[in-house]
Amino acid sequence: MPDSPRPMAVTLQVVSIVLFTFIGYLNIGIPLAVLPGYVHNDLGYSAVIAGLVISVQYLATLLSRPYASRIIDNLGPKKAVIYGLAGCGLSGVFMLLSSSLQTFPLWSLISLLVGRLVLGSAESLVGSGSIGWGIGRVGAQHTAKVISWNGIASYGALAIGAPLGVILVKHLGLWSMGVSIIVLCTLGVALAWPKKAAPIVAGERLPFLHVLGRVLPHGSGLALGSIGFGTIATFITLYYASHSWDNAALCLTLFGGCFIGARLLFGNLINRLGGFRVAIACLSVETLGLLLLWVAPSAEMALAGAALTGFGFSLVFPALGVEAVNLVPASSRGAAVGAYSLFIDLSLGITGPLAGAVAAGFGFASIFLFAAVAAACGLLLSLYLYCQAARTPRVFEVHP
């Protein structure tokens, strides 16, 4: 038998593919810290509408998951990634259009919403496609590594993109975000085009709803844990403004930095300890971080809460994701990744308007208590799944 590839060679192979996730999520991160304030302050709409502009992207991702999964399993993940990057570029065109319509708030808002819908649909192709591409290239035994590095790429891009978007708008104007997105996506397609595709796995394709039913418990835990990220990503700028604090974008950067650091330092714990144990520990830390944000008396304490939340949330997706993907055969891996990822889309999609309503009634600090309660519920669900898994044999196993 041929020797197994060295760990560093595997990691480099994975990184070369999740680079496209980085490019895709950089396009998501660039407007993330700018749009809520733009919609609320410049266009004059409420906090609920500001949250909706962010969340509609996640709702589009949610609705497009089944279609994206069919593309990944039937046409291959490489094509899915290229289609997704092209969609991200199109969203930049709508961003440009919105900036040119600023004197007409309703039309500017509509253009933003259409662009966010396009971006959300593209995200489902790029994110899940990169995971499927990576697993197909390095083998299913490295599923946890692929998912972990894909998350590092996505949240690293958000951490870089948020302050970058603020800088672009401050010095050049809103139009510069649209141009940047178009340029980045063109570069991404040019890099992806010559790369070797992963083989398409033969075998029966399980119906998407069947796969969705299998991963439902794991996805529910992910959804509950993702509310914390959604509240920080959507409302941290308005939360800081309500306290007259500066450098709100730094919260997103610190969240992303701690998220990446935890994955780099502790990603291997998933294979050593099991996904459920890691998820239980991570959700505990995330809950503490969100509670700290809720009671934060200063900007520095809020930064500490964001850092703790990012550190805790870091391994929730891959920890529960490995357990979920292991429940289906390899021929339906794209559907499993898509169905599981659907829950984070659902969570982030409803978090914006729901947390906006909570903030309208009880103040911006209260949304972090709401998120902490959700993370605690995810912790209890993970404990239950861990106990159930110890008593229930697994039907499918993707590892050789």
| 3-class SS string, 305-324 | HHHHHHHHHCCHHHHHHHHH
CA-to-CA dists, residue 322 to 153, 270, 278, 327, angstroms: 18, 8, 11, 9
Q: Which amino acid, residue 190?
A: A
CA-to-CA dists, residue 42 to 12, 98, 246, 298, angstroms: 44, 12, 19, 27
DSSP readout, 41-100? IIS---HHHHHHHHHHHHHHHHHHHHHHHHHHHHH-HHHHHHHHHHHHHHHHHHHHHHHH
**pLDDT at site 346:** 78
**pLDDT at site 203:** 62
Handedness of CA 60, 62, 64, 68 (dihedral sign): positive
What is the C-alpha to C-alpha distance for residues 178 and 316, in angstroms, rounded to an integer?
Answer: 32
Q: Where are the domains of the chain?
A: 7-391
How do the pLDDT tens digits run along the chain, 400 residues long? Answer: 344 557 778 888 888 999 999 999 888 888 877 887 788 777 877 777 877 787 788 778 878 878 887 788 778 889 899 999 999 999 989 988 988 888 888 898 888 899 989 998 898 889 888 888 888 888 777 777 888 888 788 877 877 887 888 888 888 888 888 899 999 999 999 999 988 887 776 666 677 777 888 888 898 999 999 898 888 877 887 888 888 887 777 887 788 788 888 888 887 788 788 888 999 999 999 999 999 999 888 888 888 999 999 999 988 988 898 888 777 776 666 777 778 877 887 787 678 778 878 887 887 888 899 999 999 999 999 999 888 877 765 544 444 3
Under 8 Å between Cβ of 157 and 25:
yes
Under 8 Å between Cβ of 315 and 279:
yes
**pLDDT at site 142:** 77
3-state helix vs strand vs coil in the chain, percent to 5 = 85, 0, 15
The pTM is what?
0.70
What is the C-alpha to C-alpha distance for residues 357 and 385, in angstroms, rounded to an integer?
Answer: 31
Q: In 3D, which of 111, 375, 64 has the Cα closest to residue 222?
A: 375
Name the burial class of residue 194, with classes exposed (0-12), middle (13-18) and buried (19+) by CB atoms within 10 angstroms of its CB: exposed
**pLDDT at site 398:** 42
Q: Which two tokens stand for residue 273?
A: 């300890």
Q: Which CATH number is 7-391 given?
A: 1.20.1250.20
